Amino acid sequence: VGMAYVARTVSRDKHSFGLSDFFETIKKNFKQGLLAGIINTVILFLITFSVWFYYTGKGTFAVIGLGISLAMLFVFTVINFYLWTLIITFKFTLKQAYKNSFKFVFINMLKNLLCLVVRILIIAVNVAIIFLSGRYWIFVLLIELLILTLTYPCFNALLIQYCTFPAIKKYIIDPYYKEHPEEDLEKRRSLGLEVETKPKKTETDGNTPETPEDESD
């Protein structure tokens, strides 16, 4: 949740205080974040075991089971593209966050696949570099691990935001504020969303409208 908040803020061209925002978001969403982490750990273990079990098996049943397991792994991975952003952005229950994340797997499939392919390619390129480094592979491996440790988590979080937030905005945020145009103006500004407000006009005795009030304050 901390990484999702900082990445969401930066991707929306808003200032982030980095570590302070990171830990403050964890503090605000600690219960939901911890429970989601536990649930994800259990699910990941079960899916990983399922993939390994069917991969080591033989016959048609094993092939079908492996295909289903890999499909479940894909869905679970993409769910986590959205889950943490939904937790920090909306007052969803954890069940609602998972449910909406599952829907976005299919609603935003093209960008989900693009995001996943880019992530896989980055890892594949780095692994290829290690294998092609010959007898210097240990040295190259250490450099690759250092670079990935310092850059990949942040790049990954930003990539996910750029691929997923437009869909979240289109299907959840925009429809709500279309019906409630005057609500949560500051929160919408903090998300980097355009806020259009209609100036209030007060009729005088001469039926001449007064100067519109500035609602940005």
Sequence-ordered alpha helix ranges (H) in the chain: 2-11, 19-28, 30-55, 60-89, 94-107, 109-131, 137-168, 174-179, 185-190
Q: Is 184 helix (H, G, I), strand (E, B) or coil?
A: coil
Cα 174 from Cα 104, distance rounded (Å): 15
Confidence (pLDDT) at 72: 96
Provide the residue count of the chain: 217
Q: What is the pLDDT of residues 147-170, one digit of tens each?
A: 888 888 899 999 999 999 999 999
Cα 104 from Cα 12, distance rounded (Å): 20
Instruction: Give pTM, 2 decimals.
Output: 0.81
Compute how many other C-beta atoms are within 10 angstroms of the C-beta atom of residue 203: 9
Q: Is residue 77 within 8 Å of residue 116, measured between CB atoms?
A: yes
Q: Taking the mean position of all CA atoms in its chain, how far away is CA 24?
A: 18
The pair of three-digit structure tokens given for residue 5, joined into one six-digit string: 């908040």
Q: At 174, is the pLDDT very low, low, confident or very high (cuts 50, 70, 90)?
A: confident
Q: What is the pLDDT of residues 113-144, one digit of tens each?
A: 999 999 999 989 888 888 888 788 888 889 88
